[in-house]
């Protein structure tokens, strides 16, 4: 790795994944397809919620907010992943690197509390100031190759010229507390939903509701489980490159699953699609 003076770094190198040249185009196309489907699914939900009066409820308002957030969240890291698949090691300016770091963690902290809407945007973007800007961005860097496909906390701290043990402990504390609080709130919410489901008179209704809740909780478990392993677990216990592979779960997989799980499998959404399609056909006939 290139050595730098103990001054402000002008740029970094994103190492990306090590893969044979023959596999890189396939990985690029697979990632691009998932990214485009994720964008299309979330845009579809936003437009549908706005277009159909039957979805003008608080629940679908918050699902629309989640979809809007997902558009930005997935677009924070996937473009640099695509670039490293296509070009290999890729340069990124220090300013762009730290903006990516801050926005990614801000949106990540906001995403898991989407049902609180505006307040969580403020909370998420404020909380991310500590690990992303106040601590990491002020470090002196002696190395410039980031062993990841986007700028993240631990890979950046490994490039510093100083001991970052204290910084790591602060990061773990801040991120761990926020994620733990979010998880407790979400589990409490789903606990209330499950109690309501158990009171349903129909066995078929209970089975359908449990199936939906199980799908939701699976995505929540994937998001939190992978994030806890990377940001709260001990990095010394994992082999090199493991973290960026685990990161694919919360940067690519769960954003892809969210529009499918939260909306597209929903009966009310299917009925809304039917109503909007009928309106479009009526307009076309009128023309």
Q: What is the pLDDT of residues 25-50, one digit of tens each?
A: 999 999 999 999 999 999 998 998 88
pLDDT in the model for residue 209: 72
pLDDT in tens, 185-244: 777 877 877 787 777 787 777 777 777 777 778 888 898 889 888 888 776 667 778 889
Domain membership of residue 20 (yes or no) is yes
Q: What is the average per-residue pLDDT within 59-74?
A: 85
| Number of domains into which the chain is organized | 1
Q: Is residue 115 a contact partner of residue 189, using CB atoms and an 8 Å limit? A: yes
Whole-number mean pLDDT of the chain? 81
What pLDDT does 128 receive? 67
| C-alpha distances out from residue 105 to 27, 98, 112, 119, 121, Å | 25, 11, 12, 16, 11
Orientation angle between helical segments 94-111 and 118-127, nearest 10 degrees: 140
Q: Token pair for residue 275?
A: 């109503």
Whether residue 4 is contained in a domain is answered as no
What is the pLDDT at residue 4? 46
What pTM does this model have? 0.82
Residue 260 pLDDT > 90, yes or no? no
Whole-angstrom CA distances from 177 to 120, 136, 174, 181, 249 are 15, 19, 5, 6, 21
How would residue 246 be classed by pLDDT, with cut points 50, 70 and 90? very high
Q: Supply the pLDDT for residue 258.
A: 85
Is residue 5 situated within a structural domain?
no
* pLDDT at residue number 3: 46
Range of the domain at 215: 11-286
- What CATH number should be reported for the domain holding residue 62? 1.20.1070.10
The CA distance from 180 to 219, in Å, is 16
Instruction: Out of 4-13, 85-94, 193-202, 264-273, pick the least confident.
Output: 4-13
**pLDDT range class, residue 1, cuts 50, 70, 90:** very low
Confidence of residue 65 (pLDDT cuts 50, 70, 90): confident
Beta carbons of 206 and 200 less than 8 angstroms apart? yes
Q: What is the pLDDT of residues 100-151, one digit of tens each?
A: 998 898 887 776 654 455 555 565 566 666 666 667 888 888 888 999 999 9
1 inside domain: no
Q: Is residue 3 part of a domain?
A: no
User: For the sheet containing 145-146, what is the strand order?
Assistant: 90-93, 11-14, 145-146
């Amino acid at each position: 790795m290139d050595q730098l003076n103990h001054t402000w770094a002008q740029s970094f190198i994103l190492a990306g994944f090590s893969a044979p040249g023959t596999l890189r185009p396939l990985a690029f196309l697979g990632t691009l397809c998932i990214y485009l489907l994720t964008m299309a699914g979330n845009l579809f939900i936003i437009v549908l919620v706005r277009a159909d009066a039957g979805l003008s409820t608080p629940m679908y308002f918050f699902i629309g907010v989640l979809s809007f957030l997902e558009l930005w969240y997935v677009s924070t890291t996937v473009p640099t992943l695509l670039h490293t698949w296509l070009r290999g090691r890729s340069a990124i300016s220090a300013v762009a690197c730290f903006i990516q770091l801050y926005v990614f963690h801000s949106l990540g902290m906001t995403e898991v509390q989407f049902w609180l809407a505006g307040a969580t945007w403020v909370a998420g973007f404020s909380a991310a100031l500590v690990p992303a800007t106040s601590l990491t961005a002020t470090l002196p860097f002696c190395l410039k190759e980031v062993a990841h496909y986007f700028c993240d906390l631990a890979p950046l701290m490994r490039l510093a010229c100083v001991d970052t043990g204290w910084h790591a402990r602060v990061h773990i504390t801040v991120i761990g507390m926020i994620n733990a609080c979010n998880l407790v709130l979400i589990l409490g919410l789903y606990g209330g939903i499950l109690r309501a489901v158990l009171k349903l008179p129909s066995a078929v209704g209970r089975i359908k509701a449990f199936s939906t809740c199980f799908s939701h909780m699976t995505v929540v478990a994937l998001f939190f489980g992978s994030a806890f392993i990377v940001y709260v677990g001990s990095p010394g216990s994992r082999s090199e490159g493991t973290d960026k592979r685990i990161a694919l779960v919360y940067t690519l997989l769960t954003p892809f699953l969210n529009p499918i799980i939260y909306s597209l499998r929903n009966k009310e959404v299917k009925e809304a699609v039917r109503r909007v399609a009928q309106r479009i056909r009526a307009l076309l006939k009128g023309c």
